[in-house]
Amino acid sequence: MRRQIPLLITLIVGAVLIIAAFIPRAPFGRLGENFSLYFDIIAVFAFLLGGGNLVRIHGARLVRGVGMAVTEAKKGGGAWPLRFVIEFPFLAFGGLKDRRGRDWFFSLITLLGFFAMLAAGLLKLGNPSGWQGNVTAPEGMFQDFYDSMFNPLQATMYALLAFFVASASYRAFRAKSAEATILLVTAFIILLGRTPAGAYVTAWMPESLSFLTVPNLANWVMAIPNLAGQRAIIIGIALGVIAMSLRVIIGIERTYLGSDEK
């Protein structure tokens, strides 16, 4: 029973949404749209699960780690709080022998960041227009935190890609096989074509061969063979999604629902 009801829910919800796509009249016409809105709401409820998990894990590590660090400091005897302060960097940055509590200081950072941001946002601290103001209004504490921490962290993490893209292309673009050579040659043309250098390399070509200049070739590769491959991939994906959705709806694919037993 515990398994049948969820399967039935999936079947009904999935089938109704598919049928509703063909009925423009209310309430069917807006069903898909409304269900998407419902999903967003459920996702916010779920934040409690995720956030709870985050706090639980880091909280536990913090408590355990601080305990261990204090024990460690007390071992030296004398004025252990003073010892704790002096040895703090050591005790905080991985100096503890027991793995389970070693990263306590980092967990503390996570928790501080989490609660500071949460408080600033939920209470709209420092918001120029108070409760009614937009939570992301400039000068609010939430936005300040965002600008000074979230933004540089996010942008830099993203920027790491500049380095990784270089190391990956150095390693992967090597003419070891027919496929790898094609990959290499195409990437090479496009790379050149995206810079002013591409235009200079083939600038000597006569007008009649202009389609062979690197920028034109790069544009052609983007517009034609790339497009062909994209289309094949997209059509394949669409069929994959259709079959997968059907399997889910009729209940053949149900690993996500857990087991029959409790």
Within residues 122-151, the interface with other proteins by CB under 8 A covers 122, 131-132, 134-136, 138, 142-151
Q: Which residues inside 227-256 make contact with other proteins, applying CB under 8 A?
A: 227-250, 252-253, 255-256
CA atoms within 13 A on the CB side of 97: 2
| Amino acid letter for position 164 | F
Select the residue interacting with other proteins from 70, 125, 190, 205 (CB under 8 A). 190
| Alpha helices, H only, the chain | 4-20, 31-75, 80-86, 88-92, 99-102, 104-122, 141-145, 151-172, 178-193, 196-201, 214-223, 225-249
Q: Which is nearer to other proteins, 33 or 204 (CB)?
A: 33
Long-range contacts (CB closer than 8 Å, 24 or more residues apart) made by 245-249: 245/14, 248/10, 248/14, 249/10, 249/11, 249/14, 249/15, 249/18
Nearer to other proteins, 78 or 162 (CB): 162
Task: State which residue, 66 or 143, has the beta carbon closest to other proteins.
Answer: 143
CB of 191 closer than 8 Å to CB of 165: no
Q: Which of 77, 170, 207, 208 binds other proteins (CB under 8 A)?
A: 170
Binding status of residue 209 toward other proteins by CB under 8 A: no
169 sits near other proteins (criterion: CB under 8 A): yes
What's the min distance (Å) between Cβ of 26 and other proteins? Answer: 6
Among 62, 69, 192, 214, binds other proteins (CB under 8 A): 192
Spatial separation of the C-alpha atoms in residues 134 and 127, rounded to whole Å? 8
Cβ at position 216, least distance to other proteins in Å: 10
Tokens 């704790």, located at residue = 84
Site for other proteins in 74-103 (CB under 8 A): 86-91, 93-95, 103
Cβ 67 to other proteins shortest distance, Å: 19
Question: Which listed residue (64, 70, 80, 110) binds other proteins by CB under 8 A?
Answer: 110
